[in-house]
Structure 1
Amino acid sequence: MTLKVAMAQVDMLVGDIHKNSQTVITKALKARDEGQARVIVFPELTLMGYPPEDLLLKPSLEQAIETALDAILDQVHDIYVILGYPRHVDGALFNCAGVLFNGVLIAEYNKQKLPNYRVFDDKRYFEAGNQALVVDIDGIRVGLSISEDIWHQEPCALAKEAGAQIIFNLNASPFHMEKVNVREALLHKRALEVNLPILYVNYMGAQDELVYEGGSFVVDHRGVKVFQAPWYKAGLYYLDLSAHSTITLRGENAYLIEPLAGTLSPNLSTESRLYQALVLGLRDYVEKNQFKGVLVALNTSLESLLTFIIAVDALGANRVKAALMLDEQTSKADSDTLVAISNKLKVMIEQVDIEPMMLAYQVMAPLEGKKKQSSGPKLKARIKTLTLMTMASSLGVMALSNANKSEMALGCTTLYGGMSGSFSVLKDIFKSQIFSLCQYRNSIKQIIPPDWVQDNSLDNDIIQLLGVQSLHDYQTLDQVLSLYIGQNLNLEEIAAQTQISRKNVCRILALVNASEFKRRQSPLGVRVTQASFGRDRRYPISNGWQLGE
């Protein structure tokens, strides 16, 4: 006996319950009619989209969900639909997985483990379930679990005790680089603990700063991966489950459920995963907020060029505009190269001379001596941003910020200048990673001049800001920043691990702490680490914590 299962990697718009329910109906009918599937499994909170945040508090939510469920029950028959949604039960809100078949909601599971860390705040909205659910689907007993449940032993153990022969886990697990191999290792461990195969269905798409890369997969009862869906690609992916008669160690007749080996989509390189996450994050943000396109401030910095190329890859050349701000320091060779890059990508570029604006400001509010020396670059950055935002408004597009994580960490990018914009593609990308991402993109098709991607040494303005002569490259600087921001190590631990003097580490960390007020005013950006600036890292602006503590 075999059971064909369709895994639905879908990209939903948060809050559009009606449209999302229509997508469920369309996908279910396609899986039934074209894929000959008996079961289709959707991710966590499919009807609502993920993460819904305070939309879950809307008074009209309850009726909207009931209406959506009624529509699915009415229009989809002869295929089991397993999907996630929020639902009120006796006044409490639960994160549910429902099993729908032939007009009947035959079973409903409530998520047991509610995450309340980093970007997750389930406990703000949901009550926790406390019971397993096992449902018989054509003779195969399926245990359900939702996302965080799989990270704990108890839900899987309860499902096993209730008679489950396989576990379906519905997910909306956001991407970050540290999680790349963790999920597979986790399911290997869980499958061995309960001696059951596990089917893991993940969300695909982006929502504000979060990216969901898909990559649904299946492990057998030995924890061996037997199926891997593609990453960063929405669609329906099919797997056959085979039920074999066997004898248990106690001599009892039983059925062993074996996922038949299917497609194993190839693993992606670190740079490929990261690059595709940035492309998807930007594309979905633009599409879901209905922007016509984007405008990039083009200059010779690698972060500007990388942002520009990602925008073209995400949206197409016809939806990307480039602005080249010219001043007295812009060489003809550099401007010619940037125009050539823009032409290679088939993007229209507009050159704007900002020198008249600089001179006009000098007349209105003259800067002299040391004040001119220190404030001049910031003024230039703010004039460029004013020009960028004004152009974006007139074109009806979204302005992109070129700021990266290294500069934002240190506060060396100008507030209301280089760090401004409506969205920051590289907000969670360290400068040393920008070099590797540029090299990766050039390996597909050379766009950036190779000699521009070779020098990993610190910019002069950062050297002056740090006042540290012993640091020469971004790799070293970013190691310190990563240990402090990503791993939350203290001053002494970082100095010991990096072999950088305590004084120099102290200077770097002090700059990070002092710049929190700037980061709070920065635009939203794609999250690719578990310690991004935003909901992951909530550092108080006003505080008396000492670096050595």
Structure 2
Amino acid sequence: MKALVAIAQINVTVGALQANADRIITAARTAHQHGANVLLTPELSLTGYSPEDLLLRDAFYVASDAALERIVQASSSLPGLHILVGHPVQREGERFNSCSVIAEGKVVARYHKHDLPNYDVFDEQRYFTPDARPVVFEINGIRFGVNICEDIWFPYAPEAARAAGADILLVPNGSPYHMGKIHTRKDVVRANVSRQGMACVFANLVGGQDELVFDGGSFCLNARGEVMVQMPQFVEGIEYVAIKTGEPQPGSCAPDLCEEEEVYSALKLGVTDYLGKNGFPGAIIGLSGGVDSALTLAIAVDALGADKVRAVMMPSRYTAEISWLDSREMVQRLGVRYDELPISDCFDAFRKTLATEFTGLPEDATEENLQARIRGTLLMALSNKHGSIVLTTGNKSEMATGYCTLYGDMAGGYAVIKDILKTLVYRLCAWRNAQPGGEVIPERILTRAPSAELRENQTDQDSLPPYEVLDAIIRRYMEERASVAEMLAEGHDEATVRRVVKLIKNNEYKRRQAPVGIRVTHRGFGRDWRYPITNRFTE
């Protein structure tokens, strides 16, 4: 009772069916050369996860079936190897999230997913039909069962596999990253698979797909819930699980990452894949001398290389000298192209054009927003002319409260730190500065009071509660769905809580117009936040 299972932790692209098939075939040939009996690929590995409304088009299934057939044909020259490929199936008016077991030129078994997630970022019930039939196949006396991703988050599908005779459960996954999820996955496997007396081999996608990042972190647990193999997060690779006398044997185990490294790696991979998979030649970032743009610049350089990143400083009469100095120092450290485009003349021209309309009215946020929108216009002009994408620099604290300007600092194509609270921004900067190679973010950027620099002597705390207070309320209300009453019972100031909740509600219309951004929490302002703009409910 011996077998060798290969886990293919691969980075595929949604809709790139032929390229994805080639990636799977390459992994299969590598696994075969190593003597593997099974190659386990992730959920929907052939199409990428998730194809969303591509799944409503007949042509998508025709192309997917053709790509699958290429893998079937390739398997003819790989005797003894069983390849598990995730793909959609359309049959008699129904659609299934499926996994085919392919061996020696044939599909020898096919499993359809039973539990279809329909919460947070998931919307599978829109597309797929559930199926309750277990699938078990045998190799060298070892009986392998198949579940797909969400199936193992509930007891039914693992129980059905065990009842059908499975000794080891193979689980293709498209499990997106959020902080701490790598540990949650193992806890779920222990609760629903290990207690059935089965070992589990878990293969997860890696790579960026729009706002989602898949972190890999594939693993194998034995029937007692002990970790036998652990693959690293955020990188592609193939790892092997040796099965002897029906038991997985200890193998390579990657170390856990600290939270800051985990989040930074997710942001870096998100930027790499969003630009790479969409064909952007590089990135443009508006540098302000503040912490948010500094972190965004560091991530972009680490993700893309300094030669593909351009920083633009757009000073106004309110820009402090230290902002100029710190920006110049940072770009020198990173080696990126740097340009300064003063906006004072543009600002004066706008004020002159609007002078009659504004006669007798005091200056207010209008003039502040004009400056932000001038900067946004300049960045988008550079993007149009050179083809590089503008990476916006707004953080989650700002997006939650509306401390951002439509068509100004929100103008751009990809929001790198959209799901990063301000307090976490500082932690990520400190972590990055502690890495080999020395500090890339000047210390003064991290110690001076944050400011939009749109009027004299302005700081963020003129308009917002202290970030430690603000972020705690946002986390409880937005991410953890706590009620106002619960937050008050925890000791938060009532006026501050009600003010923050009101800001979150009133700025929904802004967030709907924000660019897509990387999700790293279990609830970001994106696919898993669906509140009406027109909304008079008050808690």
What TM-score results when the alignment is normalised by the length of structure 1? 0.93
Cα distance in 2 for partners of 1:510, 1:536 equals 20
Q: Which amino acid aligns with 1:538?
A: R
The alpha-carbon deviation at position 184 of structure 1 amounts to: 1.3
Cα distance in 2 for partners of 1:292, 1:64 equals 29
Asked if the contact 1:98/1:107 (under 8 Å) is kept, the reply is yes
* Match in the other structure for 1:70: 69
The alpha-carbon deviation at position 352 of structure 1 amounts to: 0.5
Identity across aligned pairs (percent)?
36
Secondary structure of the 2:341 match is: strand
The alpha-carbon deviation at position 489 of structure 1 amounts to: 1.5
Cα deviation, 1:147-201, whole Å, max 9, x if unaligned, reads 0000010111111111111100110000011524211111122243211111111
The alpha-carbon deviation at position 377 of structure 1 amounts to: 1.1
Cα distance in 1 for partners of 2:421, 2:449 equals 12
Cα deviation, 1:401-445, whole Å, max 9, x if unaligned, reads 111110111111111111221110010011111000000000113
* Match in the other structure for 1:492: 485
Are residues 368 and 313 of structure 1, via their aligned partners in 2, closer, same or farther at CA, if it must alter by over 3 Å?
Answer: farther
Which structure 2 residues correspond to residues 147-296 of structure 1 after superposition, within 5 A? 147-243=149-245, 257-296=246-285
Asked if the contact 1:191/1:222 (under 8 Å) is kept, the reply is no
Q: 1:478 aligns with which of 450, 454, 471?
A: 471
Cα deviation, 1:338-363, whole Å, max 9, x if unaligned, reads 11211211101011111110111111
Structure 1 residue runs without a partner (length 5+): 244-256
Asked if the contact 2:291/2:450 (under 8 Å) is kept, the reply is no
* Match in the other structure for 2:403: 412
The alpha-carbon deviation at position 219 of structure 1 amounts to: 0.5
Asked if the contact 2:286/2:293 (under 8 Å) is kept, the reply is yes
The alpha-carbon deviation at position 68 of structure 1 amounts to: 1.5
The alpha-carbon deviation at position 381 of structure 1 amounts to: 0.6
* Match in the other structure for 2:384: 393
Are residues 5 and 208 of structure 1, via their aligned partners in 2, closer, same or farther at CA, if it must alter by over 3 Å?
Answer: same
The alpha-carbon deviation at position 65 of structure 1 amounts to: 2.2
Asked if the contact 1:8/1:40 (under 8 Å) is kept, the reply is yes
Cα distance in 2 for partners of 1:541, 1:397 equals 32
Cα distance in 1 for partners of 2:445, 2:65 equals 57
The alpha-carbon deviation at position 496 of structure 1 amounts to: 1.7
**Aligned: 1:17 with 2:17:** yes
The alpha-carbon deviation at position 524 of structure 1 amounts to: 0.4
* Match in the other structure for 2:518: 526
Q: Which amino acid aligns with 2:477?
A: Y
Q: 1:514 aligns with which of 496, 506, 526?
A: 506
* Match in the other structure for 2:463: 465
**Aligned: 1:355 with 2:360:** no
Are residues 191 and 335 of structure 1, via their aligned partners in 2, closer, same or farther at CA, if it must alter by over 3 Å?
Answer: same
Cα distance in 1 for partners of 2:135, 2:468 equals 49
Cα deviation, 1:308-357, whole Å, max 9, x if unaligned, reads 01000010011101101122223444323311211211101011111110
Q: Which moved more, 1:183-192 or 1:200-209?
A: 183-192
Secondary structure of the 1:357 match is: helix
Asked if the contact 1:178/1:530 (under 8 Å) is kept, the reply is no
Cα distance in 2 for partners of 1:303, 1:508 equals 21
Structure 2 residue runs without a partner (length 5+): 453-457
Are residues 457 and 505 of structure 1, via their aligned partners in 2, closer, same or farther at CA, if it must alter by over 3 Å?
Answer: farther
The alpha-carbon deviation at position 458 of structure 1 amounts to: 8.8
Asked if the contact 2:173/2:202 (under 8 Å) is kept, the reply is yes
Asked if the contact 1:456/1:474 (under 8 Å) is kept, the reply is no
* Match in the other structure for 1:306: 295
Q: How many residues end up aligned between the 2 structures? A: 527
Cα distance in 2 for partners of 1:83, 1:175 equals 21
Cα distance in 2 for partners of 1:455, 1:84 equals 50
* Match in the other structure for 2:370: 379
Asked if the contact 2:135/2:146 (under 8 Å) is kept, the reply is yes
* Match in the other structure for 1:317: 306
The alpha-carbon deviation at position 92 of structure 1 amounts to: 1.4
Secondary structure of the 1:356 match is: helix
Are residues 477 and 332 of structure 1, via their aligned partners in 2, closer, same or farther at CA, if it must alter by over 3 Å?
Answer: closer
Cα distance in 2 for partners of 1:463, 1:485 equals 21
Asked if the contact 2:241/2:251 (under 8 Å) is kept, the reply is yes
Cα distance in 1 for partners of 2:220, 2:533 equals 45
The alpha-carbon deviation at position 462 of structure 1 amounts to: 4.2
Q: Which amino acid aligns with 2:498?
A: C
Asked if the contact 2:136/2:143 (under 8 Å) is kept, the reply is yes
Secondary structure of the 2:522 match is: coil
Cα distance in 2 for partners of 1:142, 1:355 equals 69
Cα distance in 2 for partners of 1:407, 1:531 equals 16
Cα deviation, 1:495-528, whole Å, max 9, x if unaligned, reads 221x222122111111110000000000000011
* Match in the other structure for 2:36: 37
* Match in the other structure for 1:2: 2
* Match in the other structure for 2:455: none
